[in-house]
Structure 1
């Protein structure tokens, strides 16, 4: 694959510049020799940084339906094969084809300024640059009044997100403000959010239908600012338009335009977005298999989603999970040649649209589901794993506890467990297996600012990875996979008695959901 050859050589040079971290082990601890070899390999010959460079800098974000997603599938399959691991791409559906292009947004009146902005995923392109006046939503209190205003949006670029009076993080305000000022500003922010929610409700639209109505009214474009509350970080999701561009503008520039429009300055911006709409694209999971030597029809599955949103590089959601599972497979293949059970890695597609890749795998591989010993999934950032729940399986304490005893003490001592726990109903790909009654476990990580700073944002980039922590997770994952493969017993699938909710009704075990195999099924 061309992208592999292009990026592999510089990656070797880059690797020499890193200060290699160590997964420390108590020298007095008597580790299983195979687990000890995992630790030595990750400490002395890790390929994490090289792979991160190739995947994140070379291929970049991996939005479903894009050529980059297919490139990531092919790259990961080739990487597995380079280690002697059988690998293939399994199709589970199709998606609308699209490829991001450049985004240029400039204010042209009343002064000239380049703006920090990003087109939303699947946004229509501009055939030529669109220059138009920027307007804000009208001060009205009913749908009838708003609908009467709609024709005036024709030919305008409309700002439809809430205006943020203060663009500082809550943590910074709390650090520097007096307690009285902090409480005042906090209350004002909460009230402003409530007022905006009430406004949108009163005009009779929502996040989906408002852009559609403006597009139908002839607006030239739509701009939002999906600010996380942390300076510099905006979330980038999908466009809700089919013909006009929809862009996200950083909070600072969005606020400036908003104030100008509200004060009658009639600002103008020029928008050029050069994305491409492509034919429908096939959706794949990358599957790698190390065949079991004694129990080949029983399986240990390593799980992570390969796709991402594309506001940045998808580094911590879920580049780190992908890298963890690939590196674990590499060292398992190298140091565990006589694996009893078949070890599978699944790098799923279209997780971000509803766990579609893993749900497709569950639906399409009933025999594997019947023989699955355990699934280990990782998908919440760069931090070391600190929590494992039993996901509602009654006997999870006995087997998870036993397997953890084979993990280096310095790694397992970081982890809190919850047994039997509650079954995960969504959030990440282990839930696809749990719903089907298959023991699937989330290797939940320390936050490292994940949800506020990198989750689906413009800051989810390579530099946010803490490789020391990822190495810890590789050792954990490989050791758990080894212990689960060696276990003489097949795991119990008995489910807990489900508790009652606050209304006295019995909570139900999550239902198996069919994957969305076509973009037309996605809203």
Structure 2
């Protein structure tokens, strides 16, 4: 049975003293004071997001970020290194400039997608076309040669550019419901047409490129004003760009009305061959139990539509700040404390999976992993991840956290094990107690997750400071605990499809030769 508990003062009438060799209050007070009065968070955020920028795996900027982090840790007296675990397609983003040049001139809000092939300096000028409505695959094949030398729009035209909450606030209920119905019908028609063409998005792009298209024009709206999600290109020789909804919709209407708009696309990039991929790993060596580990976990890489501020620059900042504070205030912890800044999480938890594969001696002796990865907000949820006695030790550690931080956190014990989503899963699936510190939304999913708006100005530093205090205290409590945690797992319920007990999720295998 899961117990759902909102943590507050009244929940912690017990004392943590029997489990610790020293009084914790002075250290906890010092942690709070250090983060509040001498924070490095703003400087870390500026250097990482503004100066280095997005951290796409395989790019020079990703390498720059790894090297920067090692220097930062070393400057704080913390040993750190970049641990190579594989290779990835090496690529560097250059200038993107997309202009409508006919029937009138207008510069458009657009960017090339990651790993897009480059154009020449002059770019490519061509007419823009939309996908046809077809009855079957044969009809689509007959249309396909017509794309030669043209840019092809591969996203549907959205029914509205207003978020649903904006409609709900201002529209009449009838108008709101009418819009949602029209949108549903539009999506259904689009999906049916894709089925009739005989393609999914990946195979469609390949077919268009093979048919001689001049380039691919996409638009992945994130359901917020001015926000698109930016992922990777699927082309090998021709450019792929994403155009923001407002301009994409305009172009779509122009094509449908027979205006035959033309674009000039300049999408400069460099194919750099192959680059090594790394995890940045920092360590404060334990003094009494150096072969037991507390890990502070955050992924270092990002997509590159914005600068990766909330996914996952804020998580990186929290873990680095916590390490700085712990080294300053508790330089000789009982257990070894590691900060893992993982590479290529965005392509499937590759960095943390590789670390877990390469270091079973660490995974088998983990006291706790604390992972943060879903935005700038203060931590509001912790799940026991299916470890039967997680309530006992997590509640003990949380009891030391100041009430103004702790009272916001809802916990679920013993919870269910995570099979993916973020880097804690790389450890949970291997039987190690690892916990996601889930954050308050701040409209993360629509406005900053993998979008062109994930930038420094979206960071809420009050919440990030709260998280740094939480992580530093939790790491301190876990490292100094007289007890090693129980790794006993719950018995998972019956799978309704098979009639058999569900099994603990299996680990992912790290991709060590990616993007090629």
TM-score tier, shorter chain, comes to over 0.9
CA contact (8 A) 2:159 2:179 kept: no
TM-score by length of 2: 0.94
Aligned twin of 1:374: 368
- Cα deviation per residue 1:288-322 (whole Å; 9 max; x = unaligned)? 00000111111100000000000000000000000
Secondary structure of residue in 2 paired with 1:95: strand
> How far apart are 1:511 and its partner, in Å?
0.4
Q: Paired residue for 2:280, among 283, 286, 291?
A: 286
1:270 aligns with 264
- Out of 429, 433, 438, the position equivalent to 1:435 is 429
The answer to whether structure 1 residue 112 and structure 2 residue 105 are counterparts is yes
Out of 261-270 and 316-325, give the one that drifted further: 261-270
Q: State the Cα distance separating 1:191 from its structure 2 match.
A: 1.4
Q: Which residue is 1:409 aligned to?
A: 403
Relative to 1, partners in 2 of residues 1:505 and 1:118: Cα closer, same or farther, differing over 3 Å? Answer: farther
> What secondary structure is seen at the aligned counterpart in 1 of 2:73?
helix
Map residues 128-277 of structure 1 onto 2, 5 A cutoff.
Answer: 128-277=122-271
- Aligned length in residues: 494
Aligned residue runs from structure 1 range 261-410, under 5 A:
261-410=255-404
Q: Which of these residues, 48, 64, 68, is aligned with residue 71 of structure 1?
A: 64
Equivalences for residues 460-479 of structure 1 within 5 A: 460-479=454-473
- Does 2:84 align with 1:91? yes
State the 1:106 CA deviation.
0.2
Secondary structure of the residue that 1:354 maps to in structure 2?
coil
Assess if the C-alpha contact under 8 Å between 2:284 and 2:332 holds in 1. Answer: no
1:509 alignment counterpart: 504
Deviations 1:194-251 (A, max 9, x none): 2111111221111111111000000000101100111100000000000000000011
Please say if 1:100 is aligned against 2:78: no
d(CA) in 1 for partners of 2:42 and 2:485? 35
CA distance in 2, matches of 1:473, 1:360: 26
Query: 1:365-409: per-residue Cα shift (whole Å, max 9, x none)?
Result: 111112111100000000000000000111111000111111111
Shift of 1:500: 2.3
User: Does the 8 Å contact 1:316/1:460 carry over to 2?
Assistant: yes
Find the counterpart in structure 2 of residue 80 from structure 1.
73
- Whether the 8 Å CA contact 1:165–1:255 is kept in 2: the answer is no
Per-residue deviation at 1:31? 6.6
Question: Structure 1 residue 520: deviation in Å?
Answer: 4.9
SS at match of 1:229: strand
- Write the deviation string for residues 412-451 of structure 1: whole angstroms up to 9, x where unpaired: 1110100110001100000000000010000000011001
More displaced, 496-505 or 452-461? 496-505
Residues 1:124 and 2:155 aligned together: no
TM normalised by structure 1 equals 0.93
Asked whether the equivalents of residues 284 and 331 of structure 2 are also in contact (C-alpha less than 8 Å), the reply is no
C-alpha separation between the residues in 1 aligned to 2:515 and 2:173? 50
SS of 1:77's partner is helix
Please identify, of 77-86 and 137-146, the stretch whose mean Cα deviation from structure 2 is larger.
137-146
Measured against aligned partners, the alpha-carbon deviations of 1:333-378 in whole angstroms (never above 9, x if no partner) come to 0001230000000000000000000000000011111211110000
Check whether the contact 2:159–2:182 (CA below 8 A) recurs between aligned residues.
no
Q: Is the 8 A contact 1:31 1:408 kept in 2?
A: no
Alignment map for 1:15-30 (pairs within 5 Å)? none
Is 1:445 the counterpart of 2:402? The answer is no
Instruction: Encode CA deviations 1:85-115: one digit per residue, 9 max, x unaligned.
Output: 0000001110000000010000000000001
Gaps of 5+ in 2: 1-8, 10-14, 16-22
**1:125-172 CA deviation, whole Å, 9 max, x = no partner?**
002410000000012121111111100000000001011132111111
For 1:207 and 1:479, locate their aligned partners in 2 and report how far apart those are by CA, in whole Å: 46
Correspondence for 1:519 = 514
Tell me how far apart the structure 2 counterparts of residues 90 and 195 of structure 1 sit (CA, whole Å).
48
Aligned to 2:5: none
Give the Cα–Cα distance (whole angstroms) in 2 for the partners of residues 114 and 258 of structure 1: 16
Mapped to 2, the partners of 1:269 and 1:101 lie a distance apart of: 19
